[in-house]
Amino acid sequence: MPKITLIEFSGQDHTIDAEAGKSLMQNAIDNGVPGIDADCGGACACGTCHCFVSEDWLAATGEADAMEEAMLGMRPDRADNSRLACQIEVSDELDGLVVNLPEFQM
């Protein structure tokens, strides 16, 4: 099982044993990590699973498609490494992934 670390805005970190084949969002929710709301349930439709992928992992996690870009574009705290966690599929290749969570979801 790939190990993934999510760091809350407060600095509190959570390392989870993630399940490959599921999204990063679903893994975070299943493991009770706070800071991700996921209002739409993973449809790339609400923008409330915003996260920041650490620089080393940008290539491995892939690129946002047009819809994800549109949703990210509405975030006031959008950064170059912004992604929606529901659009990142966890695989064994992501063992060791580190993502930061934003101050708020909206």
| The pair of three-digit structure tokens given for residue 103, joined into one six-digit string | 């101050």
Residue number with CB closer to another protein (21 or 41): 41
Please report, as a single letter, which amino acid is at residue 29.
Answer: I
> Which is closer to another protein, CB of 29 or CB of 94?
29
- Per-residue CA distances from 91 to 55, 64, 88 (Å): 18, 17, 9
Q: CB of 49 within 8 A of CB of 40?
A: no
Rounded distance between C-alpha atoms, residue 3 and residue 97, angstroms:
7
Min dist CB 73 to another protein, Å, is 6
CB of 30 to another protein, least distance (A): 13
Closer CB to another protein, 58 or 104, in the complex? 104
The least distance separating another protein from the CB of residue 74, rounded to whole angstroms, comes to 6
Q: Which parts of this chain interact with another protein (CB under 8 A)?
A: 37-41, 43-48, 67, 70-71, 73-77, 103-104, 106
What is the spatial distance between Cα 78 and Cα 99, in angstroms, rounded to a whole number? 14
Q: Which is nearer to another protein, 45 or 79 (CB)?
A: 45
